[in-house]
């Protein structure tokens, strides 16, 4: 496993510490989980795959 350095704002670090404590994990474990989830979302097409899904459909809002 490779070690990296990351600069985080004080607010982000406080949130990370809080999240890690609530999950009973280390900062590093929470960050690894976040990177894995982000990677999975990107590989699955992320939210971008839903852009334009309603294009060309009539609105159901009656005026």
pLDDT digits (tens, 9 = 90+) for 16-42: 999 999 999 999 999 999 999 988 888
CB atoms within 10 A of CB 30: 19
Torsion, CA 32, CA 33, CA 39, CA 42, rounded to 10: -150
Query: And the tokens for 45?
Result: 């097409």
The pLDDT of 38-60, averaged and rounded, is 75
Phi and psi torsions of 50, nearest 5°: -95, -10
Query: Is 15 in contact with 23 (CB distance < 8 Å)?
Result: no
pLDDT of residue 40: 86
Report whether pLDDT(48) > 80. Answer: no
């Amino acid at each position: 496993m490779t070690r990296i350095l990351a600069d985080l704002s004080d607010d982000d670090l406080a949130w990370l510490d809080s999240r890690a404590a609530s999950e009973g994990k280390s900062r590093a474990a929470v960050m690894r989980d976040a990177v894995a989830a982000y990677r999975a979302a990107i590989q699955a097409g992320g939210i971008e795959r839903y852009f334009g899904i309603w294009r060309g459909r009539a609105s159901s809002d009656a005026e």
